Chains A and B, each alone.
Chain A
Amino acid sequence: MKKFWKKKEPAAKSEAPADGELLAYLDGELAPERQSEIQQLLESDWKLRVRLTEIERDIETYVKATHPQRQIELPPFDDLWRGVSSRLADPLEPLPVEMELRLRKREAMGLVTLVRRWSDALLRRPVLRRWSVAATIGLTITAGLAFWFLSSEHLCVVSAEELIERATQSEAAQTKQVAEPVVYRRIQVKRTGAGESVIWESWRETGKNQFWQRVADRQGWRDFNRPNDRAMPALIAEIEAIFRINHLDSRRPLSAAAFAEWRKTIRSKSETVTELALPGNKANDGLKLTTVPQEPYALNAIIEASLVVRRSDWHVVTQRLKAQGENEVREYELSEMAYEVLPLQALTVFAELAPAPLSTATIPPSPSLGGDMAAPSPSPTVAPTETALKDAEVGALFALHQMQADLGEQIEVTRDPAGRIVVRGLVETPERRQQLSEALRHLPLVVVRLHTVEEAARQAALKQSSRATQSPPVNDSVNAVTSTAPGANAFEQRLARYFTERESAGNDRQNINLKIARLSNEVVSESSAALSEAWALRRLLERFAAEKDEDRSIAARQRIEEMAANYIVRLKTQSRRLRMRLEPVLISIAGAKAPVVSAPSPSEPTKQAQALSVFKAVEQTQQMTHHLFAGTGSAASPEEAARQLLEALARLDQALLRF
C-alpha cells in the first residue's frame, strides 16, 4: 500500500548550516554529532566550503586589524595581586545589592536554564527537533482547547433529556402544591435588534384550561383573549404565529412541558446543554438547552430554540427563539419577570371574565368599552394620559393601603383595555365592600368591582351545578392553633417544662397549657401578620420595579414611598414583638444565645431586591413559627429547632435594618 506520507531522505535531514553555525563549527562549539554532520556536508558541498572560507577570512581580518589594539601594556602581575591580596584579609563586606539580586535571579533561573539546555540539545538533532516542534504545537493546541473548554460556558453538565425532564417535573410539582392551580406569569417579550419590548401577563387555570392575558406596551395595559384581537400588540401577534405554526402552546410560554412537546415533534435536531450565569446571580447558576432543528425551514419555522433554567430549582426563566422570516432570521427573547401558582379561589380573573370567549367578544375593536362598567368613567373621547393612569393606580393602591386591604385580602388593582384602573376582588362581608367602595369612590379613573365571598360562591355554584364543592372560608390560623393540643410533640413538651420551671409549684397542668396556647397564638398571629406585610411590600415594589420614577408624578412617588415605609415600620414592630415573646423561651430551650447571623445581602442594592430579602426572611420565620407552634412540628430536635428559629429572627432583624 502506498504510504500517505513520504519519508525524507537522510541527506535532506541535515540542513545547510547558517553562518553562525559555521562559525561555531570552526570554533569547535557544536555538539559532536552536528560537528560531524557539517564535516560531511563540507566534504560534499563546494558552496559551503566557500562560505566557510569567507568566514575564516572575516576572522582573519578582524584578528589582524585589532591585533595592534590588543598589544597593550600589561601591568605587572605582582602589582595587580598586591591590590587584591591586601583586601582579601578584610572582613567580609556585604555583597552589593544588585549583585545579590542577580545571584538570586541566577538561582531561580537554574531550572529554566536546565530546560533550555535540554531543549537546545534536542534542537541540535534534526529528527528530534521535528518531533519536539510537533509535540510543542500539539501541547499548545491541547492546552488552548482545554482552557477554552473550561473557561467558556460550553460545558455540558446534564443531557438535554435530563434537563427537560427535571424542568417538567419541577413545573408539575409546583402546580400540585395548590388546589385548582392558576399559573400566573409576567414575561418580558423582546425582539432582538428591533428594540421592541412588551410585558405579557397571563393567568392559566390548568384544570379547566381557562386563560386570561393582557399586555403592556407604550400604550399601557390591554386585555386580549383571542387571536387577531386588535388589542394584541404586533410583537405578541408574531410570537403567537410562531407558536401556532410550530405547534407550541402559546398559552404556556416558558413552559418546559410545552417545550418538550414541541421537541418531540422535531425528527432530526442537534442539541447542546451549556452552563451560564443568570443575570444578577452567581456564576454558572443556569443551564441552557439549545435545540436546532434540521433544515429546510418554512416561514415562521423555529430554526433555533433555547430554554434557560435555574439550576437550583429547574425553573424555566428564559426562552429564546430564532424564527425564519421572509428574508431574515428573527430573534425573540421571553424573560420571566414574575411567576406564581395561585389557587383559583384566590383570583377573580376568571370569575369576572368567564366564559373567556364571551368576555373577549364583548370587547369592541375600539378603545372605548361602552357602558358595561357601573363605575364612573371618563369621557370616551378623552383618553387619559399615562401619567394620570399611573397616578390613579397608585391612588387606588394607597386608598386600599389606608384601609389595610392590601394585607391578605383578595383584591387586585389592574388596568382594563379602556384605560381605567379596575379594583376587583373578594371581601368577607358586604360592610367591608361598602367601606372599600367609599374609600375608592372619589378617585378618578378607578372602577370598583368587589364581591363578597358569598356572592362569588353563588356564582360558581350556578356555573357548575355539578360541582357543588364549596370552598371553606379562609382558615384563621389563630383558631387552628388554639385547637391544637399542647404537648403533641417534643417541642411542646419542652415548652411545658419551660413554663413549669418558671411558675410556682402550685400551678396545674391546665394553667401551663393555657400559657402555651396563649404564646402560640400570639407568635403565630404575629408572624402571619408580618408575612402579610412582607407580601404587600414585595408586591408593591415589584409592581413598580420596571417603571422609572420620572414616569410618575411626585405625589405618586411619595405615596409609594410612604406605603413602603409603613410596611417596614410595621414589620419592625412585629419583629420586635416576636423576639420579645420568643427569645426567652427559645434561649432556654436551645441553651445558648441567638447567634449573630449576617443577612444575605441582595445581589443588587435596589429596593426591590431588599424587599425580596425581607420577604424571604419573614417567610422563613413564619414557616418555622407555624411548624413549631401550630402543631405541625419539626423534624429537628427541640434544641436545634429553637436555635434555627433564633437564627431566623436574627436574619429578619438584619434584613430589616438593611432596608
Chain B
Amino acid sequence: MSRHTAMQTDESRIEQFCREEHVEVYRYAWALLRNKEDALEVVQESFLRFYRLWQAGKIRRHERALLFRMARNLAFDRMRRRGAIEAHTQETRAGNVIAFEPPRTPEELLLEKELRHCADQALARLSRKEQECLELRSSGLSYREVAEALSLNPNTVGPLMARALRRFKQAYEEILEKKGTSREIGSARRR
C-alpha cells in the first residue's frame, strides 16, 4: 500500500470516527462552554489532536475517553483564557437551545424555560466533578472512560455518580417546590 493510500485510509478512518462521536463531543463541549463557536472549535481541535496522536501510534486504548479528555482540556483552556472557569459553576445556564419538538404555545415555552432554569440551578449546586461525571455518562461514556477522561479512580465513578444523581434530584425538587411549579409541570406534561 502506497503512502498516499495509507494516508487516505487514515483520513477515512478518522472521518468515520468523527462522524460517530462528533455529536456527543460537541454536546459535552457546549455544556462546558455554552458557546456555539467555541464548542465547534474545541471539537475540531480535539479531533485534529486525536488524529495526530493516533497517527503517531500513541493511542492504544480508551479512544473515546481520550477524545473527551482532550475536549475537556481544550474547553478549560478557553475558559481559563476568558477568566470564566470559576463563573462556570455558578452561572445560570441559559440560551442557545433549539427545541426539536413542534412549536408550542407561549405558556408551554415559558414553562419549559422555567424548568430549564431550575435544572441549571440544580446542576449548579453540584461540584464540577459531579457535573462532568453526569455529563460524560449522558454522552454515553462507560465508567472506565469517564474515569480516564476525568483522571479518576474507576472505582469512584459509580459512587460519585450515584451521589451526584441524588443531590441533583434533591436540589431540583427543592427548587421546584420553592417556585411552586410542580403542579404546573404536571399539568403541562399531561397536556
Chain A interface (Cβ < 8 Å from any Cβ of B): 18-24, 27, 29, 55, 57-59, 61-63, 65-66, 68-75, 77, 79-81, 83-85, 87-88, 92-93, 95, 99, 103, 116, 120
Number of cross-chain contacts by CB at 8 Å: 135
Say yes or no for B85: interface residue by CB 8 A criterion: no
Inter-chain contact B51/A58, CB cutoff 8 Å? no
Instruction: For chain B, residues 136 to 191, give those with C-beta under 8 angstroms from any C-beta of chain A.
Output: 137-138, 142-144, 153-155, 157-163, 165-166, 168-169, 172-173
Say yes or no for B48: interface residue by CB 8 A criterion: yes
Q: Which of A29, A62, A84, A93 contacts B47 (CB 8 A)?
A: A84
Inter-chain contact A61/B168, CB cutoff 8 Å? yes
Interfacial chain B residues near A57, Cβ < 8 Å: 169
What are 23 sample pairs from A and B whose C-beta atoms fall under 8 A apart? A20-B158, A20-B159, A23-B162, A59-B165, A61-B173, A65-B172, A66-B138, A68-B112, A68-B115, A69-B116, A70-B27, A73-B96, A73-B97, A74-B23, A75-B36, A80-B18, A80-B26, A81-B18, A84-B18, A84-B47, A95-B52, A116-B153, A120-B155
Expressed in whole angstroms, the Cα–Cα distance for A61 and B41 within the complex equals 32
- B104 smallest CB distance to A (angstroms): 12
Inter-chain contact A23/B27, CB cutoff 8 Å? no
Inter-chain contact B98/A19, CB cutoff 8 Å? no
Residue of B whose beta carbon sits closest to that of A59:
B165
Say yes or no for B89: interface residue by CB 8 A criterion: no
Interfacial chain B residues near A77, Cβ < 8 Å: 18-19, 22
Residue of B whose beta carbon sits closest to that of A92:
B52
Interfacial chain A residues near B30, Cβ < 8 Å: 72
Expressed in whole angstroms, the Cα–Cα distance for A389 and B66 within the complex equals 87
Interface size on B, residues (CB 8 A): 62
Inter-chain contact A29/B143, CB cutoff 8 Å? yes
Inter-chain contact B58/A103, CB cutoff 8 Å? yes
Say yes or no for B125: interface residue by CB 8 A criterion: no
Q: Which of B14, B96, B162 contacts A72 (CB 8 A)?
A: B96
4 residue pairs, one from A and one from B, having the closest CB atoms: A20-B159, A20-B158, A58-B165, A73-B98
Inter-chain contact B142/A29, CB cutoff 8 Å? yes
- B153 smallest CB distance to A (angstroms): 8
Residue of B whose beta carbon sits closest to that of A100:
B58
Q: Which of A21, A23, A70, A83 contacts B44 (CB 8 A)?
A: A83
- A31 smallest CB distance to B (angstroms): 12
Inter-chain contact A72/B165, CB cutoff 8 Å? no
Residue of A whose beta carbon sits closest to that of B142:
A29
Inter-chain contact B22/A88, CB cutoff 8 Å? no
- A128 smallest CB distance to B (angstroms): 15
Q: Which of B15, B49, B101, B161 contacts A20 (CB 8 A)?
A: B161
Interfacial chain B residues near A18, Cβ < 8 Å: 159, 162
